[in-house]
Chains A and B, each alone.
Chain A
Amino acid sequence: MILREMIEFVKQHHPGMGEKEIIILLNEAMDDFSSDTRISEGSFTFNTAVDQRYYPLSDDILEIKEINYDSSTSGGKRIPRLIGIPDERDIG
C-alpha cells in the first residue's frame, strides 16, 4: 500500500484531517509498529578512529544482533560482545 492510498483511507474517516497530520501519524505508527513487533532488520556502518573507544548509536537501532569488524563489501568478521564493562574504565 502506497502513501497516497493510506492517506485516502484515513480521509474517508477523517475528511477534515490535513495531509501533513496524517503523514505524522503514519510515521508515528511505523515507529510504534516496528518497535513492538521487531519486524525490520538492517545494518548500519561507521568507521573507527584510532584511539577512539566510543561511538554514538543511531536512534533507529532497536536491538543489536551482531557486530562485524573490518566490514566491507566482501563481508567482515564477527566480534564478540563483552559481558558487562571492563574493570578499568576508560571514558575517552
Chain B
Amino acid sequence: MAQPTYPHTIDKDYAWWLDRGNIAIAYAKDTQSNGGRAIIGGDGLPDGTFSSTTGIRERSYTGEWLSPHEITQIRIFCIKKSEVFTEAEKNAGTSPSGKFIAGGMTDMPEFPSQFHRALVYYAVSKGYENKPELMKLNEVFNAKYNEYKEKAHRYVGNKRFYGPKQVKTGRTWGIM
C-alpha cells in the first residue's frame, strides 16, 4: 500500500450525483483555487469562477455546476456483485475478477468460504424445479439457500466486529 500524500489538492468544490443511471461529476461554479484549497468569494471571472483570495464566497446560490476542468481519476467505493478469484489472483492477493467459466475449475467466490455452499444449494434447488415429482426437494434446498443468505446478512451487519455495537444506559442531556 502506497503512503498517502497529503493534502490532496483540489482546486474546486466538486460533487457527484446520480442521474439517468449515470454518475455526474461537477464543481460549483463559484469556486476558485487558492494554493490548492477552494476559496471563498471575490470578483467573478469570465468563466464563472472567482479570482479573489479573500472575502466570503456566495456559495452556489445560482445552483450552477460546471463539468470537470481536468482529466483525473475517480474511484467509486461501492457494494458490488460478487466475482470469483482465480487461483493466481488468490495467491497474489489481487482483486477478484469475472464470473465462473468452464476453464476455471479452481476458481472460487470472493466472499468468505462459509457461504460458498449457498451457491450450490441454489443450483440444486433450481434443478428440482424441472422435476414436478420432486418439488418438495426444491423447497428444501431453497430453504437451505435462504438460511445461508440470512447468515450472510448477519455477517455483513456485524462488520466482523465482536462485542457491543452501541451502549446506551439511558437518555442523558448536556455534557458529561
Interface of A with B (CB < 8 Å)?
1-4, 6-7, 9-10, 13-14, 17, 19-20, 22-23, 25-77, 79-88, 90, 92
Known contacts A14-B127, A17-B127; is-contact A92 B67 (Cβ 8 Å): yes
Known contacts A62-B79, A68-B74; is-contact A74 B4 (Cβ 8 Å): yes
Q: How far is the CB of B128 from chain A (nearest CB, A)?
A: 8
Interface of B with A (CB < 8 Å)?
2-5, 7-10, 14-26, 62-65, 67-84, 95, 99-102, 104-111, 113, 115-120, 122-124, 126-128, 137, 145, 148-149, 152-153, 155-156
Known contacts A54-B24, A75-B8; is-contact A70 B73 (Cβ 8 Å): yes
On whether the beta carbons of B64 and A47 are closer than 8 Å, the reply is no
On whether the beta carbons of B113 and A1 are closer than 8 Å, the reply is yes
A and B contact pairs by CB, cutoff 8 A, 23 listed: A3-B108, A6-B119, A10-B120, A14-B127, A19-B102, A25-B126, A29-B118, A33-B148, A33-B149, A36-B149, A36-B153, A40-B79, A40-B83, A42-B78, A48-B73, A54-B24, A64-B77, A67-B76, A69-B72, A75-B2, A77-B7, A81-B16, A85-B19
